[in-house]
Amino acid sequence: MITRVLTLVLMMACLGCEDGWLEKIRGEPSSQEARTDATSITWYMTLHAGSTYPQGNTIVGLGSEAEAVNTIPIKSTIPTGLHINKPRSMLLLSDGRLLLANGNHPDSAIYVFGLPNWQGQRAFLDLLTHLDHEDPLLQHPYDMAEGPDGSIYVSCQDSAVVLRYAGLNEDRPGQPLGVHSEVGPGCFIPPHSDHAHGLKSPRGLTFGPDGLLYVADRDHASVTAWNPQDGSFVRTVASAKDGLKRPIQIVFSDDGRLFIGDHGAKTVWVSKPSKKGLDHFIHKKEHRVKQPSALVIEDDWLYVGDRDRKNIRRFNLKDATPEATIWLDELPDSPEFLLRNVSKSATKR
């Protein structure tokens, strides 16, 4: 049961001041005890979790000021035998449903959650897909992207591929829609062993303003662009020649700039449409992150998580000036993904 209001308020005032802050908001609140509602949850966040911090194997709902409000999955709706373990990317679909990449092997799966209830929590609906003999390449899924036609693209770091599946509104949701059947079901972008420009350890996925699918490859030290229709290679956007070392997450701004979080270089790079090569977005070394994660652009800010410092900061998109106060500090575990809760259905009762 959720902690009573007084304790919750104290926790919000001192988020992370004790290692057990996440446990205080776990569970399923009763209507008498809960004072939060769906409209107060502005952000979703996943932590690295796994066996090192099992309490973090969930999705945390945050308010507009980064206060912890609630955990999102309704635990009682998750069938016996399924376990959220190493939650990674989240994807809000156009109809308001939520996908979650479950990274742990052999529990690799894509969870489907329904619309939020009045307390902002979501019931488990189904698995879009899961690791088995029919989908053997779904190994440690990391990031997801939704194509214009509703197809779901998933990067899998252990199998070194990007997979494509039919969306939830298709006749056979979760059906593998690959173009490299020789590699395996659903293989849309192949591994380096099967293609000259193939992948080694794909991480971040995003669609660019040009409609292409962009992929960050950690172990290949590259960001590449691919045709989302036929999976053909288009171009290399950035590579080790530009300074990349271990790119992880990527995100585009409205003006076409591409931001790249790089664990190896311990920085966030920016690629500008009118300029070749990469620049450090955060110029001052004292403000740079050690292990950037949780990249999100919202309004005039670039949100950047730091897996090493266990916090999330905001940087002005125009001049990279950091906000004076750290947006979310002293987390009990490393932040992985941050997602703005923009679904209109979140306000429904």
What confidence tens digit (pLDDT) does each residue in 89-105 have? 999 999 999 999 999 98
Rg for the chain, CA atoms, rounded: 19
Q: Taking the chain, what is the end-to-end CA distance rounded to the nearest angstrom?
A: 21
Greatest CA separation found in the chain? 60
How many domains are contained in the chain?
A: 1
pLDDT score of 105: 87
pLDDT at 206 over 60: yes
Q: Say if CB 178 and CB 188 are below 8 A apart.
A: yes
The pLDDT mean for the chain works out to 88
Percent of the chain scoring above 70 in pLDDT: 87
pLDDT at 276 over 80: yes
Q: What is the pLDDT of residues 44-68, one digit of tens each?
A: 999 999 998 899 999 999 999 999 8
pLDDT at 220 over 50: yes
Q: Dihedral of the CA atoms 217, 223, 229, 234 (nearest 10)?
A: -130
pLDDT score of 59: 97
pLDDT at 295 over 60: yes
pLDDT score of 34: 44
Between these two residues, 315 and 344, which has the higher pLDDT value? 315
Tokens, residue 324: 């004076």
Residue where the block lists tokens 């173009």: 179
Q: Say if CB 289 and CB 268 are below 8 A apart.
A: yes
Residue span of the structural domain in which 239 resides: 5-347
pLDDT at 6 over 70: no
- Cβ partners under 8 Å of residue 112, min gap 6: 97, 98, 99, 124, 125, 126, 127, 128, 168
- Whole-model pTM: value is 0.89
Domain of 136: which CATH number? 2.120.10.30
Tokens, residue 78: 């998750």
Q: Which of 251, 256, 182, 183 is nearest to 223 (CA)?
A: 251
pLDDT score of 153: 99
C-beta pairs of 86-89 under 8 Å, 24+ apart in sequence: 86/48, 86/49, 86/50, 86/57, 87/46, 87/47, 87/49, 87/56, 87/57, 87/58, 87/59, 87/336, 88/46, 88/141, 88/142, 88/143, 88/336, 88/337, 89/46, 89/141, 89/142, 89/143, 89/144, 89/337
Across the range 109-116, mean pLDDT stands at 98
Between these two residues, 333 and 284, which has the higher pLDDT value? 333
Across the range 174-183, mean pLDDT stands at 96
Q: What is the distance between the alpha carbons of residues 127 and 102, in angstroms, rounded to a whole number?
A: 10
Handedness of CA 124, 128, 130, 132 (dihedral sign): positive
